[in-house]
Amino acid sequence: MKRLGTQLLSGLIFPVAPIAAICLISALCRNIWTASFYTPGEDGGEFEPSMAIIGVPILLVLSALILAGLTVLTRWIEGRYEPGIWWRTMMGILRTVLAAGSLMMFLIAAVFFMGDAQGVMTHWQVAVAWAVWGVCAGAFAVQQYRRVLR
């Protein structure tokens, strides 16, 4: 039962937490990013917010599926064969590249909704948004670090 709870929590950390954080940051900083970026009717003005709130979460789900596939493949190969250190190194490098790419996509989507860089000094929402991003990114980094060490 404890293993099921751990797996459920692990599934919530990524991609559910970053997607929820993107939606929360979007709602929290709505007045900031609409004033900074979005002009209705402007050419391509609808692309950036839709990419940040729809496109990036889809890419995060795809990367989560790939990371899960790497975990399953690693456990299967290591349980059936004894591939050696080269296998763990290769899987660790692949996992690190996918995790870094996922964190970059998450950061880009979150920063888009936070607006300009000067917003940190004038809007409390931006400080809260950075805290939410930091907690989600930290939990994801710890999760991936533990999986590489296994």
What average pLDDT values come out for the chain (150 residues) when binned by 10 residues? Answer: 69 86 92 70 70 93 91 88 87 92 94 71 83 92 84
Contact 22, 113 (CB under 8 A): yes
Residues in Cβ contact with 82 at an 8 Å cutoff, skipping those fewer than 6 apart: none
Euclidean distance between CA atoms 63 and 101, whole angstroms: 9
Which pLDDT score is estimated for 1? 63
The two structure tokens encoding residue 114? 């936070």
The token pair at 139 is 């939990």
pLDDT at residue 57, as a whole number = 95
Q: What is the pLDDT of residue 25?
A: 93
Give the pLDDT score at 97.
94
Q: Please give the helix or strand (H or E) that residue 11 lies within, else none.
A: helix 2-11
